């Protein structure tokens, strides 16, 4: 069950023939973590999407900033967020850790006990890019789900993740940090992904049921600031 407006991928949508695919390479994430740990708490935006309520995020690169907080994530790519100027290790990851510079990038903070309810990523830009996860700080209690398969992704590993299929996450461990980037489907990126290894994940019916709930059931008073509620109800 998806509590989401129907989404039909457009003509620019690419094939994503994987759920979880382990990609080549391993990243020393310590420099990036040191930068993130030095940020003030207010650098992290509360989720602007109902499926992610209770999580926080830090935009590194996106489209032009709009009026709504976080709107750069749905406005294309290629524009560095102001925060990136003081995060050189993260900037180096975006530009050097992948076969192409990241078009879009952010860090997702999933606090202990948080969930991301099932949804599909539903912009034309997201349809047209491969989503890659680089876990920065995580524990076995932090799992992603695509369709009905759950998997923990270890820190420093690189994964193609199918964000065009119904997906979600839950974290029963301490705070979890993932770097997420969108890469264009160039020949170099396609070759890197084609050389990866699919990992099936495991079913967990109880966890899946928890992610199938209406995410607005988890609304908290802090989620109702400004016009956020209007946006949540329109999603
Ligand atoms: Fe998503």
Q: Give the pLDDT confidence of 53-88 residue by residue, as tens digits.
A: 889 999 999 988 877 777 888 888 899 999 999 999
Burial label, 197 (beta-carbon count in 10 A; 0-12, 13-18, 19+): exposed
The residue range of the domain holding 194 is 47-60+91-214
Q: Residue 226 — very low, low, confident or very high, per pLDDT cuts 50/70/90?
A: low
Distance (angstroms) between ligand 1 centre and the Cα of 129 equals 13
pLDDT at 24 over 70: yes
3-state DSSP helix/strand/coil percent for the chain, to nearest 5? 30, 30, 45
Residue 231: inside a domain = no
Domain count, the chain: 1
Residue 83 lies in a domain: no
Tell me what the pLDDT averaged over the chain comes to: 93
Residue 195 lies in a domain: yes
Q: Is the CB of residue 235 less than 8 Å from the CB of residue 50? A: yes
Closest CA to 155 of 133, 170, 173, 131: 133
pTM of the model: 0.94
Indicate the range of 114-123, 132-141, 151-160, 220-229 predicted with least confidence: 220-229
Between the alpha carbon of residue 64 and those of residues 39, 60, 108, 111, 227, the distances in Å are: 23, 12, 20, 28, 20
Residue 179 CA, ligand 1 centroid: distance in Å: 13
Dist. CA 10 → ligand 1 center (Å): 17
CATH of the domain at 136: 2.60.120.330
Ligand 1 centre distance from Cα of residue 49 (Å): 9
Is the pLDDT confidence value at 142 over 70? yes
Contact call for residues 106 and 90 (beta carbons, < 8 A)? no
Residue position matching structure tokens 């994987």: 18
Closest by Cα among 21, 14, 26, 32 to 157: 26
Q: Tell me if 37 is assigned to some domain.
A: no
Selected residue with higher pLDDT from 119 and 235: 119
Residue 89, pLDDT > 70, answer yes
Does residue 33 or residue 216 have the better pLDDT?
Answer: 33
Dihedral sign, Cα of residue 80, residue 83, residue 88, residue 93: negative
Answer whether residue 76 is part of any domain.
no
What's residue 5's pLDDT?
85
230 CA from centroid of ligand 1 (Å) = 20
The verdict on residue 104 lying in a domain is yes
Radius of gyration over every alpha carbon of the chain, rounded to an integer in angstroms: 17
Please give the structure tokens belonging to residue 31: 């420099």
Low-confidence winner among 6-15, 135-144, 177-186 (lowest mean pLDDT): 6-15
Residue 191 CA to ligand 1 center (angstroms) comes to 24
Residue 226 within a domain: no
Task: Report pLDDT for 6.
Answer: 85
In 159-226, alpha helices (H):
187-194, 205-211
Is residue 7 situated within a structural domain?
A: no
Mean of pLDDT values over 220-230? 73
> How close is the Cα of 83 to the center of ligand 1, in Å?
22
Quote the pLDDT of residue 223.
67
Q: What is the pLDDT of residue 119?
A: 94
Ligand 1 centroid from CA 45, angstroms: 16
């Amino acid at each position: 069950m998806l509590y989401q407006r129907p989404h039909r991928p457009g003509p620019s949508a690419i094939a994503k023939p994987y759920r979880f695919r382990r990609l080549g390479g391993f990243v020393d994430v310590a420099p990036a973590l040191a930068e993130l740990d030095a940020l003030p708490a207010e650098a992290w935006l509360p989720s602007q999407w109902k499926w992610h309520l209770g999580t926080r995020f830090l935009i590194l690169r996106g489209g032009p900033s709009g009026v709504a907080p976080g709107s750069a994530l749905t406005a294309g790519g290629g524009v560095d967020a102001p925060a990136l100027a003081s995060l050189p290790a993260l900037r180096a990851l975006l530009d050097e850790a992948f076969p192409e510079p990241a078009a879009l990038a952010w860090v997702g903070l999933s606090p202990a006990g948080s969930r991301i309810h099932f949804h599909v990523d539903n912009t034309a830009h997201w349809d047209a890019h491969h989503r890659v996860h680089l876990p920065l700080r995580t524990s076995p209690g932090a799992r992603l789900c695509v369709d009905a398969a759950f998997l923990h992704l270890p820190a420093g590993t690189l994964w193609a993740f199918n964000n065009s299929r119904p997906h979600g996450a839950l974290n029963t461990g301490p705070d979890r940090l993932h770097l997420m980037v969108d890469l264009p489907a160039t020949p170099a990126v396609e070759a890197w992904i084609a050389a990866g290894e699919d990992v099936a994940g495991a079913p967990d019916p109880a966890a899946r049921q928890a992610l199938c709930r209406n995410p607005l059931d988890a609304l908290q008073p802090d989620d109702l600031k400004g016009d956020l509620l209007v946006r949540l109800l329109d999603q």
